[in-house]
Structure 1
Amino acid sequence: MSCAHLPADHTQARTAAAHLAPRDQCSRPGMDSPLSRPALLALSLLLLLALYFARRRRGGGKNRKYPPVAGTMFHQLLNFGRLAEYHTELSRRYRTFRMLTPTCNYVYTVEPANVEYILKTNFANYGKGVMTHDVLEDLLGDGIFNVDGAKWRHQRKVASLEFSTRMLRDYSSAVFRDTAAELAGIVAARAGERVDIQDLLMRSTLDSIFKVGFGVNLGALSGSSEKGAAFARAFDDASEQVLYRFFDLFWKAKKLLNVSSEAAMKRSVRTIDDFVYAVIDRKIELMRRDQQEFAKKEDILSRFLLERERDPGCFDNKYLRDIILNFVIAGRDTTAGTLSWFLYVLCRDQRVQDRIAREVRTATTGDRDVGAQEFAACLTEDAISKMQYLHAALTETLRLYPAVPIDVKYCFSDDTLPDGYAIKKGDMVNYQPYPMGRMMFLWGADAEEFRPERWLDDDGVFVPESPFKFTAFQAGPRICLGKEFAYRQMKIFAAVLLYSFRFQMWDDNATVGYRPMLTLKMDGPLYVRASLRS
């Protein structure tokens, strides 16, 4: 649908989606493809033929209905820089499809019934599996996003208890308010200038998540910590590389030889580990010096250390390191990325931006004008709960730009999905939040429009959708424990910024791309102009 066919109020919002420019896979050092494009195409054809004849020779499964073949892993390598769009195009043709690899099928689906079956109904048959664990182990280790069974249940139980406490809610809200006010002060000092708001959001959310998670003042926003900045860069690089591993047949060989992209991966992981283990060591030393004072600590790492003190054999420092990094990717990358996309679409739709600013003011200060610090203090739980349109706008951002664009599960035994397609043991089954947000059969003809109103009833009250249709926070037993935590953080940051400033793109014709990573992060700066709201 062209912009000419859209209602006038939504033309700018639709244009925002049109300005999304995927990045070429070869533009980042270290992400080298081991083969040329013609060689990849030739291998792809050979793979298709080999698997076709292998299946015919086996003779099995001829009475079973398998998802249509849409390509091979080599096609995915060729489209790595635009992987989300590539899968969206295929999903419009086939709601469930296969991509062939030498060892298994990669099955992709956008059917909500399939998603519910994978994430809830037959949850026990779909997990991380050995392959996914191996691919992600260098970065995420045995953290909650990379394990099944007892380790997953243990971390889930401890994290669930922590996220349900009033202590963490109050502590995290105070951290978010202070960090958001600090961010507003930096933006105010540069009002009217070109500002990379994504960089500021990444640094500020990293600061806040480290404070909440580990009780550490990282200093990323102020630029006072070179080690913190190096950690953030290394984490981004490693996150991209582990995604590439899913489609690189040679990654284990490159890792063994310590060459090419795997050599860069090793350097990134070393930087990450040095930083994280130093944080753990400082915490342990603090606990040894004053056990009674340490017991009052409210950050999550301290709570895990106290549990280990009660049961010394439950986990070691490596396990703590894994828990930390999983928490970082959940609390920093996803939130900062969503806020960046949120401001991007608001820059292209001033109507929505101004409506949110009015709602924020009405819910807090009314006619009074106050500074950022005083305004942040007004963001109580009650005030935040009144911001229904802001909640809808953030949710609409997550629909179109989900923090995790694709999620993979390993099939432990032969199965049949609700749409009738057969899945074989060892297949990697993927549900796809990014393509699902763009499917007209799910969201209507305006699926690609940014329209917060779709989430509100006639009284302006937010109405949630099924988590198997809106999959940004997963669903079932693995549903995101930090969902409310994330919304609170995003709403506090968004409210402080939009109360104080009006944002515009620095260059109206600028395109915004994304970096193919575990999370949907913009590739490069988001340059905006911030002007003070009077």
Structure 2
Amino acid sequence: MAGHGNEGCLFSMGLGLREVYPEFLISLLCLALFYCYYRFFFGTPTTVVPVNWPLAGMFPGLLANFHRLHDWGNELLRETGCTFSFRGPWFLDLNYIVTCDPANLQHIFNVNFQNYPKGDEFANIFDILGDGIFISDGERWRRQRAKAHALVGQRSFRSFVAAASRDKVEKGLLPLLDEVARRGSAVDLQDVFLRLTFDMTAYLVFGVDPCCLSIDFPTVPFARAMDDAMEAVLLRYTVPPAWWKWKRRHRVGESERKMAAAWREIDRFIAECVAEKRKNSDRTQTSTDLLSSYMNDVDDDQQGAEIDHKFLRDTAVNYMLAGRDTTGAALSWFFWSLSKNPTAEDKILEELKTILKERPSSGRPAVFEAEELGKMVYLHAALLEALRLFPPVPIEQKEAVGPDVLPSGQKVERGAKILVSLLAIGRMDGVWGEDCGEFRPERWISEKGRLRHEPSYKFMSFNSGPRTCLGKEVAFTQMKAAAAAVVYRFRLEAVEGHPVEPKLSIILHMKNGFKVRIKRRCASP
């Protein structure tokens, strides 16, 4: 999924005002006051399409709707026919083509893929990823993708993922939730799942379990460093490039100081992992975690110890940043959807009980094996439905190498930036039908009771085209292992009155978390 191999942009149009220079702040204030003046004298507009003002562009409308940015974006694309040109102030370089039209997506991600790379701007903002696969373009990306595809596709790695996921759920997740249920206290389920997927991803990448999933909820320096880095990345999108680059060069400002400290912590952790593996492992043996596999077979063009270490460092950071948050976010929205749709939860529970009836009496009732999870059609459909409504990476960014014309008729100039709203795709009547806003797993099941296939340019949680997520099966293995065990063993009750809404972030986290109370089911062991 987006979490394990989505090589798309981790971008949000969120605008922070904490570390901007005075002239920039004054400009924003003037724009906001001007917009309020217009609204006062001319009333509430009948359209969600913002006015394109001289000099200010559509920026005042963006500021006015910033508090409901996701909903506003969905409404804007619905009213404009799924494609819209946003014009920002001339001094901010905020001109974008925003689209969720499946025909445009098929063109951008498949038909004319070569014309729409990540671009230099994306790589510069995400400099902490180095030269890794998720920000690379061209031949460098093709070499890394081929290597990753070979590793992830191995049967031994798939078995490793299944076993590691099962063990972490059985020995980490379930005991923690059991203890929370015993205490009778509320818990932030999003925090629990983010810790779970961090431990899982670290184990797959490094072969090391950080033990972040613990009842005392410890702070893990590496995890904290990654959070700080992502906050700094988001802020870089909110100010003129020259400003944040100057702060980066001189290490001034809270965000860039945090980025520098996070970079040091991430490099320290990875260096220790690499040194430990080189000290204790036999490079002639086949290893299962990704870092060991890369160490045993570094590409031919990586020569010298320094380049070799940089390659391993960049590869590890890319996998960790891609894998730790998105699967956790997906599980959080999945269980929130079940809390609002108890009928769907009951159907999953019945499916689990049917699987258990077919199991030998010697089986472990607390967890489900990979073969059993593969038979669960409704569980898979419910996960797909949650991903459709709440894609972990809500926005993709592309940059046009040359001029083009999209199927919608939109002209694309050289260097144009294109935002693809994955969140809006799943909420368009013309794409998913009039019930597109409903959580209905049945839409993914055929009349014969099998999973229904939908084209990737219509359902883009795992990207589309040549950069389709390589870790899709890894993500589903982890999500199914956790979801099946939790649904079978526990009943989750959302804390009444606790607000749940998307966070304006590069990942679709819940702004306030997901507070629940956990009850053991009577039928569970």
TM-score, normalised via structure 1 length: 0.83
Are the aligned partners of 1:24 and 1:82 in contact in 2 as well (CA < 8 Å)?
Answer: no
Letter in 2 for 1:527: K
Match of 1:131 among 99, 118, 121: 121
Measure the CA separation in 1 of the matches of 2:492 and 2:361: 19
Instruction: Map 1:445-484 onto structure 2 (within 5 A).
Output: 445-484=434-473
Identity of aligned residues (%): 34
Q: 2:514 aligns with which of 508, 526, 529?
A: 526
The DSSP-based 3-state class of the residue aligned with 2:77 is helix
Spell out the pairing of 1:206-355 with structure 2 (5 A cutoff).
Answer: 206-222=198-214, 229-249=220-240, 250-260=243-253, 263-292=254-283, 295-308=285-298, 312-313=302-303, 315-355=307-347
Alignment of 1:481-500 (within 5 A): 481-500=470-489
Q: Which residue of 2 aligns with 1:202?
A: 194
Cα distance in 1 between the residues matched to 2:313 and 2:71: 34
453-462 vs 121-130, greater mean Cα deviation: 453-462
Which deviates further from its counterpart, 239-248 or 480-489?
A: 239-248
Contact 1:215 1:299 in 2 (8 A): yes
Q: CA deviation at 1:209?
A: 0.7
Matched, 1:49 2:67: no
- Partner residue, 2:41: none
Q: Aligned equivalents of 1:401 and 1:75: distance in 2?
A: 25
| C-alpha contact 1:438 1:448 (8 A) present in aligned 2 | yes
Code of the aligned partner of 1:235:
M
Do the aligned residues in 1 keep the contact of 2:15 with 2:235 (CA within 8 Å)? no
Partners of 2:447 and 2:327 in 1: how far apart? 29
CA contact (8 A) 1:104 1:427 kept: no
Within a 5 Å distance, the mapping from 1:64-463 to structure 2 comes to 72=58, 75-76=61-62, 79-94=65-80, 95-101=82-88, 102=90, 103=93, 105-137=95-127, 139-181=128-170, 182-191=172-181, 192-222=184-214, 229-249=220-240, 250-260=243-253, 263-292=254-283, 295-308=285-298, 312-313=302-303, 315-365=307-357, 374-376=365-367, 378-381=368-371, 383-463=372-452
| Separation in structure 2 between the aligned mates of residue 254 and residue 531 of structure 1, nearest angstrom | 49
Cα 1:48–1:301, aligned 2, differ >3 Å: closer, same or farther?
farther
Deviation at 1:359, TM superposition (A): 0.8
Q: 1:40 to 1:401 in 2, by over 3 A?
A: same
Match of 2:39 in 1: none
Following TM superposition, by how much is the alpha carbon of 1:517 offset from its aligned partner in structure 2, in angstroms?
A: 2.2
Deviates more, 1:202-211 or 1:316-325: 316-325
Structure 1 residue 442: Cα displacement = 0.9
For residue 281 of structure 1, give the secondary structure of its aligned residue in structure 2. Answer: helix
Answer whether contact 1:73 1:247 (CA < 8 A) is retained: no
Please give the TM-score of this superposition, normalised by the length of structure 2.
0.84
* 1:74–1:247 CA contact under 8 A, matched in 2: no
| 1:133 aligned partner, one-letter code | A
What whole-Å deviation, never above 9, does each CA across 1:118-141 have from its counterpart, x for those lacking one?
00100000011111111221x322
75-84 or 486-495, larger mean C-alpha shift: 75-84
Instruction: For 1:56-67, list aligned pairs within 5 A.
Output: none
Change in Cα spacing, 1:334 to 1:366, as seen in structure 2 (3 Å) is: same
Q: 1:361 to 1:172 in 2, by over 3 A?
A: same
Q: Aligned partners of 1:73, 1:324: CA distance in 2, in Å? A: 38
Deviation at 1:361, TM superposition (A): 2.3
Q: Structure 2: which 5+ residue stretches go unaligned?
A: 1-11, 36-49
Q: 1:38 is matched with which residue: 29, 40, 43?
A: 29
CA deviations on 1:198-240 (whole Å, 9 max, x unpaired) are: 11111111001100111011111127896x6232233223223
- Are residues 1:514 and 2:507 paired? no
CA distance in 2, matches of 1:390, 1:136: 35
Aligned residue identity for 2:248: K
Residues 23 and 81 in structure 1, CA contact (< 8 A), matched pair in contact too: no
Q: Cα deviation per residue 1:83-115 (whole Å; 9 max; x = unaligned)?
A: 322321211122211122434731111110100
More off after superposition, 122-131 vs 140-149: 140-149
Cα distance, 1:184–1:273 mapped onto 2, change above 3 Å: same
One-letter code aligned to 1:275: I
Change (3 A) 1:523 1:50: closer
Alpha-carbon separation, structure 2, partners of 1:530 and 1:369: 27
Higher deviation after alignment, 75-84 or 148-157: 75-84
Q: Which residue of 2 aligns with 1:62?
A: none
280-289 vs 210-219, greater mean Cα deviation: 280-289
The letter for the 2-side match of 1:318 is K
> C-alpha displacement at 1:455, in angstroms?
1.0
One-letter identity of the residue aligned with 2:448: D
Alpha-carbon distance in structure 1 between the residues aligned to 2:96 and 2:158 = 39
- CA separation of 1:164 and 1:450: change in aligned 2, threshold 3 A: same
Extract unaligned runs of 5+ from structure 1: 1-21, 52-70
Do the aligned residues in 2 keep the contact of 1:399 with 1:437 (CA within 8 Å)? Answer: yes
Aligned to 2:6: none
The root-mean-square deviation of aligned C-alpha atoms, in Å, is 3.1
Mapped contact 1:237–1:265 kept (Cα < 8 A): no
| 2:38 match | none
Residue 5 of structure 1 corresponds to none
Offset, 1:397? 0.5
Summarize deviations over 1:226-281 as a string: whole Å, max 9, x none: 6x623223322322332342232243344345444xx3243244234423433333
Query: In structure 1, what is the Cα distance between the partners aligned to 2:63 and 2:315?
Result: 30
Is 141-150 or 305-314 further displaced after alignment? Answer: 305-314
Whether the 8 Å CA contact 1:25–1:31 is kept in 2: the answer is no
Q: Quote the Cα distance in structure 2 between the aligned partners of 1:125 and 1:271.
A: 34
1:460-508 C-alpha deviation (Å, 9 max, x unpaired): 321021111111111110000111111111111101111111111022x
Higher share of residues assigned helix: 1
- Asked whether the equivalents of residues 219 and 225 of structure 1 are also in contact (C-alpha less than 8 Å), the reply is no
Letter aligned with residue 264 of structure 1: S
Write the letter of the residue equivalent to 2:406: L
Q: Give the paired residue count.
A: 484
Task: Check the 8 A contact 1:144/1:155 in 2, yes or no.
Answer: yes
Q: How far has the Cα of 1:31 moved from its partner? A: 9.3
SS at the partner of 1:97? strand
Moved more, 197-206 or 184-193: 184-193
